[in-house]
Structure 1
């Protein structure tokens, strides 16, 4: 079978049980009438008279079909090579007629063709002798490249008429028109006027912070009102620009005054606002250090305060000294490690201990990172100054003197995996200065062996679940690295 052909098949069964299959194909390309008849016999002998008669009748029928096709009747089969491309030889009228044809997209199964329908070139077409209808399906070459996902994509696509496409393009151009977009919205000043008539006020962040600071400074404000004000300020100062603007407005002084309040709730909220404003904001870090915020925070940690207050104050201290070597130097010179060691021993829980160990880990790792980057011969002036400032932070001697080599291993006794992980990371970065202490600490050696066996079992469970490089495997790697350093 080849593309553009109509094939008829007949079956003749003899009395002897033999079967003759007759296949007649008629080419439908152009106006030619090429008729091919093929007899297929299941036996070695020739076909019977009945079989030949049937073949002759089928041949006449095919000849009639081909003749009708050549006369371009309404029910003739039309093969379309390319509906939208190329220049036709019949002028604009013929091109318009070709565009208006409804082209049937063949599929793998036979489907009935209606009068006036066209088929793509290469399609497989036949005449159903039982129904008298023409049927079409994909040709052999088309089936080779017809994929399931292509059929699904074609099935979900919607067809649009040329007029619909033109209207859609026109709508897109109208939507992209700047004047039409601007006309849909009113200016900000007009919006403010309309909202003022509704007793609504449009405020920027700066205006809001100014209003909140005025209320915070008012003597008529109650404690509950001040707590709500601090809560709103904490939300705003997460943005770097807002935190810097708050300092330029004098808001930092109001926050520090809240730290000296006798109301523990105001102390907690003020420390929370301060820590949020200091996070990743060097400008605010410098202003806070110049305003004496570090000494005030260390004083609160060194005195008897509720746990909630100390947790927020510790957050503010960590935000103040992070990536700020000058503040770290002041932290050490004001006895910061001594205050943290007393807080570590006094705390009954593990939350503050974990935060303290994390702060120490950050300080040590930041200094090591800067010193390693200092090996690069191409450095700018600011980096050289940062290296110089970190060299003045004598953290190693302070850690040995304050007994941190023995304090950090205590966190391994916690049942929380996160606390153990942070303790192991801190022990690794402290190893160069605490190695002798580690080797003489028998409880540390026993804890590492016990933890390793425990986490190896958890790693096996992770591998069963398909997690080859899971969280517990990472903890085992930390334990192994620490044991290697201790040998």
Structure 2
């Protein structure tokens, strides 16, 4: 505080009185400020680096301590002076001063903190670990005790599982009250047959029943059980239906039941299934019906020489020949040639197995039955040596493959016919050139033994038979 004193002699006495009054007033104010009781004591140590502290500004090296020994709120200083409230503490290294005009304590960052900037201070703030309340510490301690007690933990887990799942006995009682019925395949087939034979069943319902039966008879036992229930007679009756959809579905079920099932094959042959299928193939029927009838015929003849012999004696090859020559029968041609090839291959495999020095009685019986099947002679007389090569004219590789394999199988009886068939020789030469180019393309791509190479081998084998 500055006091201006006039240099005039007349006012000397007045100035002295004024000075004395102001000094007394200042001392009273200072005594009042210093006499006020603070809520906390501030411990301040003079900076050893600063030299003289002057009393107005000091470096705090010890934080404030509450008189009652409790935790204090720590104030984070900044670069600017900020007022300290009662009960607040400051971190070590901060500058604390007493403002003589306001009587309030003020704090800011110390010289060392200002030197390294506020970035370091913010990093220190991030490193401050959060404090925990008393309740949080109690809960954590309780959890630690529970983890150390396995019996209590197991009991809690059992209680948790019991609360989520119902007891087995209770579930059994509920199921018994619901009177649930789990049907077996046998019960399902019996129910389906009853519904199919009901006079109240519509055509759509019967078609749905046949679809379910087709799924079930893929299992050998189910197919045999269906026959014992009278289901085979129901299916054969469906082949004679006036509704082409029922004919198609019945033939589909029959073919699935016959596949690799000798018991059903024998019963079907004895029940006249062969004659009914030949009738469908020989009469005017939709193409979809004839496809399913061919499927059932192939399933009946496969590995069954008795049925094959009856097929030939009932003019089966003539029926197939007419189908092969009919217009629009391209989709049927491949099925017919495949079926004939399977029949020829079966007999050849059985004949090759005849070299076994100790054949059993079942094998001898099969040889005897296959000896009655004169399939290749029937093929020669039926003109099949000239019909099968027609498949080579298609652009489908699969059709060509089936035709080449069938031609090879028929070569023992058709080789003379092949030599005199100029169109066949031209087709074989053209195919050889095509597949040689395709094989070259496969080899360029790194495929040594590809599909086209197999086709070329079939051509080589057939030409060897013709020569």
- TM-score range for the pair, normalised by the shorter chain length: 0.5 to 0.7
Q: Which has the larger displacement, 454-463 or 313-322?
A: 454-463
Following the alignment from structure 2 to structure 1, what is the Cα–Cα distance between the partners of residues 254 and 166?
Answer: 42
CA distance in 2, matches of 1:483, 1:218: 60
Preserved CA contact (<8 Å) 2:323 2:329: no
Q: Do residues 285 (structure 1) and 268 (structure 2) align?
A: no
Deviation of the 1:460 alpha carbon: 1.4
Distance 1:254 1:195, change over 3 A: farther
User: Given the alignment of the two structures, is residue 445 of structure 1 paired with residue 425 of structure 2, yes or no?
Assistant: yes
- Cα shift readout 1:171-223 (whole Å, capped 9, x = no counterpart): 9xxxxxxxxxxx99969xx86x8557557531110000000000011111000
Q: How does 1:264-283 map to 2 (within 5 A)?
A: 264-283=244-263
Residue 387 (structure 1) aligns with: 367
Identify the match of residue 215 of structure 2 among 235, 243, 258: 235
Distance in 2 between the 1:186 and 1:365 partners? Answer: 59
Deviations 1:45-103 (A, max 9, x none): xxxxxxxxxxxxxxxxxxxxxxxxxxxxxxxxxxxxxxxxxxxxxxxxxxxxxxxxxxx
Aligned partner of 1:136 in structure 2 is none
Q: Which of 425, 429, 445 pairs up with 2:405?
A: 425
Q: Does 1:203 align with 2:183?
A: yes
- 2:450 corresponds in structure 1 to 470
Which one of the candidate residues 332, 354, 364 is aligned to 1:374?
A: 354
Aligned equivalent of 1:55: none
Instruction: Check whether the contact 1:350–1:411 (CA below 8 A) recurs between aligned residues.
Output: no
1:324 aligns with 2:304: yes
Tell me, which stretches of 5 or more residues in structure 1 are unaligned?
A: 1-166, 172-182
Work out the CA distance in 2 between the residues paired with 1:456 and 1:317. Answer: 38
Paired residues for 1:164-243 under 5 Å = 194=174, 197-198=177-178, 201-243=181-223
Greater radius of gyration (CA) = 2
CA-CA distance at 1:476 after TM superposition: 0.4
Cα drift, residue 465 of structure 1: 2.0
- 8 Å Cα contact 2:305-2:370 kept in structure 1: yes
Secondary structure, aligned partner of 1:374: helix
Check if 1:304 corresponds to 2:265.
no
- 2:336 corresponds, among 352, 356, 368, to 356
Partner Cα separation in structure 2 for residue 480 and residue 486 of structure 1: 10
- From 440, 462, 465, the counterpart of 1:482: 462
Structure 1 runs (4+) deviating above 4 angstroms are 183-187, 193-200
Change (3 A) 1:213 1:420: same
Kindly state the Cα deviation for residue 347 of structure 1 after the two structures are TM-superposed.
4.2
- Are the equivalent residues in 2 in contact too, given 1:195–1:202 (CA < 8 A)? no
Structure 1 residues 343 and 349, CA, compared in 2 at 3 Å: closer, same or farther?
closer
Which residue pairs with 1:335 in the alignment? Answer: 315
Aligned mates of 1:325, 1:200 — CA distance in 2: 48
SS of residue matched to 2:328: coil
Q: Which has the higher strand share?
A: 1
How far did 1:453 drift? 0.6
CA contact (8 A) 1:431 1:485 kept: yes
The alpha carbon displacement at 1:349 in A equals 4.2
Structure 1 residue 294 corresponds to structure 2 residue 262: no
Please state how far the C-alpha of 1:350 moved relative to its aligned partner. 2.5
Structure 2: how far apart are the matches of 1:185 and 1:423? 66
How many residue pairs get aligned? The number is: 304
TM-score, L = length of structure 1: 0.60
- RMSD value, Cα: 2.1
Residue 456 to residue 199, structure 1, CA distance change in 2 (3 Å): farther
Aligned to 2:32: none
- Deviations along 1:125-167, whole A, 9 cap, x unmatched? xxxxxxxxxxxxxxxxxxxxxxxxxxxxxxxxxxxxxxxxxx9
- 1:277-304 CA distance string (max 9 Å, x none): 0000000000000000000000100000
CA distance in 2, matches of 1:237, 1:199: 29
2:386 to 390, 400, 406: 406
